[in-house]
Amino acid sequence: MGLFNTFSKKNPKPYKQDAYNAKYDLLFCDDIELYKSETKSSGYPWNILFAKNPDIGKLKVIAGTSTIDSRHKVLAYNMLLSQGVVMNNKEPLGVIVEVAQPAGLDVIAAYSDGTVRYINHTGKMTAWETRTDAVDQIISRLFADSVTVIDQIERLDLERKSFPQNGRIKLTFLVSDGMYFWEGPFDLMHKDSLAGPVIDGATNLLTHLSSR
């Protein structure tokens, strides 16, 4: 399975600096070792997520807690999946849109808890942690459009796909039962009746946050 494998260690990287590539890989919540190296906290829920042999029952509690950070939930769900625990629900927790341009890769990641991460082609990352009604509405619409896509595409059975090349766009959906993705030429994807609304939603989100 592709969950918690060595993806980040053996695939090409989108940015020149290792620190920026680490921030990029963290968005997908599929490398627990990277989180261990990048996280200083040892409190809850990290004490459970970072345990040598994580307790399945405690992981289920993390995954099922609505008030916990979305990325914590994704990590917990992925750990459960990696241990062969079948997830019967399909809870969308993250939407990541990668746009490859001549200057480099732009990435925006929105999570169901209302937080957002943006990495531009230089590798510089901006994080938004404070929730507002306006942002919640945009993210809610983005996730509603994403669910429509998720219902039409297949879940990844292998490791995460590499970042897109120039002129292409990749949509990645972090869901409780695994990772889903869709990639193609930007022009075609933007015109698609399913992918287009997701791309527009991500664009609206970035535009709104950048104007604040």
pLDDT in tens, 32-78: 999 999 998 889 999 999 999 999 999 999 999 999 999 999 999 99
Asked if 143 and 93 count as a contact pair (C-beta separation under 8 A), the reply is no
DSSP 81-103: HHTTPPP----EEEEEEEEEETT
**12: its two tokens:** 């090409």
- CA torsion angle for 154, 137, 22, 68 (degrees, to 10)? -90
- CA torsion angle for 81, 57, 116, 132 (degrees, to 10)? 140
Asked if 181 and 170 count as a contact pair (C-beta separation under 8 A), the reply is yes
Q: Would you place residue 1 in the very low, low, confident or very high pLDDT band (cuts 50, 70, 90)?
A: very low
Cis link prior to 45 (omega < 30° from 0)?
yes
**pLDDT tens-digit series, residues 114-133:** 999 999 999 999 999 988 99
